[in-house]
């Protein structure tokens, strides 16, 4: 009887463990999705900033090549900032883990 109860408890614990693993995977997937959405938002904000800066000073004289170059450069800066933040997060996670 006691052995059967212990087996039931072990089975319940295993089920809980598998549920936690599933939830952990879902959380990881959602974090990746949030990260991608943040990157997309940053790209859109960057482009909007550059276009706004360019349009603010000029009425009808807009050099599209110059604007595109500015957008590209701003995106590169944002990418580098994001990489830096990701590396800092990785370092924090590794520090916490060990």
Question: How does pLDDT run across 47-85, given as a tens digit for each residue?
Answer: 788 777 777 766 556 677 777 788 888 888 888 888 888
Q: Measured in whole angstroms, how far is the alpha carbon of residue 70 from the centre of its chain? A: 24
pLDDT at 8: 92
pLDDT digits (tens, 9 = 90+) for 11-50: 999 998 888 887 887 888 888 888 888 888 887 888 788 7
pLDDT at 11: 93
53-86 b/e with 16+ CB inside 10 Å = b?
ebeeeeeeeeeeeebeebbeebbeebeeeeeeee
CA distance 91 to 72: 28
The pTM of this model reads 0.46
For the chain, give every domain's residue range.
1-61, 63-97
pLDDT digits (tens, 9 = 90+) for 46-57: 878 877 777 776
């Amino acid at each position: 009887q006691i052995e059967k109860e212990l087996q039931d408890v072990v089975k319940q614990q295993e089920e809980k463990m598998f549920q936690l693993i599933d939830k952990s995977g879902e959380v990881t997937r959602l974090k990746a999705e949030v990260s991608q959405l943040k990157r997309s938002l940053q790209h859109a904000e960057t482009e909007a900033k550059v276009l706004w800066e360019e349009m603010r000073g000029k009425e009808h004289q807009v050099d599209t090549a110059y604007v595109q170059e500015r957008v590209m450069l701003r995106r590169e800066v944002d990418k580098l900032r994001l990489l830096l933040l990701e590396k800092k997060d990785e370092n924090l996670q590794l520090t916490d883990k060990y």
